Structure formats: C-alpha cells, structure tokens
Structure 1
Amino acid sequence: MADDIRKFLGLIVFGNIENLILAAQGVEAHVNPLGLAILSLIAVCCWLLIGTFGTKMAMKYARYINFIGGLAIFILGIQAILESIPGMLAFFH
C-alpha cells in the first residue's frame, strides 16, 4: 500500500482542491502560513484515511452518493448564477 501511495504523494499534498481553497482563505484572513501549512497537512492525512477506509463502507451507497453529489453541484451552480444576475444587470445600466 505504501508504494501505491508514494506514486501519488505529490498529488495528494499539492493537488488537493481543499488545500487550494484553504490557502486562499488563509491569505485573505492573514493567518500564520506555518500554522496553515500544518493544518493543511493534517486535513490531507484525514482525507486520505477517510478515502482509504471509508470507500469500502460506502460502496453499497455509491448510487445515492453520486446523485447527492451531482445534485449539490447543480444547486451550487444555480445559486452562483442567481447571485451573479444583479451584477450583470447593473453592468448594462
């Protein structure tokens, strides 16, 4: 298992979208970069453990998880569109 993880270590640490969001929010809030880095690595390790062990338990619910995830993305997309309409209308006035 360690060899499998080692291949993707760079992606796990640096390509994690949650880390990018966390870093952007940390810059905006002017937090300590070292503390943010430590918390980010902890978050990556937690997601790795959840993904590794949680997948086995969640396989029987895959259809529901896919549907709920797709629905959440759809709802967030509609929300983003609706929130941008006032700004678009103000641009044309």
Structure 2
Amino acid sequence: MSSDIKQFSILIVFGNIENLILAAQGVNAHVNPLGLACLSLIAVVCWFLIGTFGTKVAMKYARYINFIGGLAIFILGVQAMVESIPGMLAFFH
C-alpha cells in the first residue's frame, strides 16, 4: 500500500464503523431500511468528499480529528448498547 493511500485508511475504517453503528441504531429504532440505506450512502459520499477535499486543510489537526471521531464512535456505540438492554432483558423473560 503506498504512503499516499495509507494516510486515508483511518477515514475508511471510521467511516465503515460509523455506518455500522448507524445501521444498528436504525434497526433498533425500527426505521425504514430503504431510507436508512439512502442516508448511509449519503454519509459515505460526504466522508469521501471531506477526505478528498478537506485533507490538506485538516492535516495539521489530524490528531484532534482522530480523537474526536473515535470518541463519537465510542459514545454512539455505548448509546446503542444501553438502548438495546431493555429489549435483551425482555427476551429472557
């Protein structure tokens, strides 16, 4: 993998994790799967555009961006797990 592409691998990983969390929350909230798929594709295109055009500007803030993105993913993951606990408890009764 060339060094030019390697620097974008973090965006690809966080973008995919974010879409998985979005899908999990959508299933938990019983939303329309087609609408959720459209929103997910829009999110992917937005990440692609941000990664393509905003990289030069954002390179000096890369550490902060990675931390804030990782923190947001962690918080959304915890939120999704906490919201699914009542449904899991109902399954065992």
TM-score (norm 1): 0.52
Structure 2 alignment gaps of length 5 or more: 1-11, 79-93
Three-state SS of the structure 2 residue aligned to 1:40 is helix
Q: Which has the larger radius of gyration?
A: 1
CA gap 1:72/1:31 in 2 versus in 1, 3 angstroms: closer
Unpaired segments of 5 or more residues in structure 1?
A: 1-11, 81-93
Question: What's the CA shift string for 1:31-88, capped at 9, x where partnerless?
Answer: 00000000000000000000111111112x2xx53156448858x69xx8xxxxxxxx
RMSD: 3.0
Alpha-carbon distance in 2 for matches of 1:54, 1:71: 16
Code of the residue aligned with 1:45 in structure 2: it is: V
Q: Is 1:65 paired with 2:29? A: no
Look up the equivalent residue of 1:66 and give its one-letter code.
R
In structure 1, the partner of 2:52 is 52
What SS does the aligned partner of 1:43 have? Answer: helix
Bigger relative contact order (CA 8 A; separation at least 6): 2
Runs of 4+ aligned structure 1 residues displaced above 6 Å come to: none
- Counterpart of 1:20, as a letter, is L
2:18 matched to 1:18?
A: yes
- The 1:65–1:37 alpha-carbon spacing in structure 2 relative to 1, beyond 3 Å, is same
Question: Quick one: distance in 2 between partners of 1:66 and 1:36?
Answer: 30
% identical equivalent positions: 70
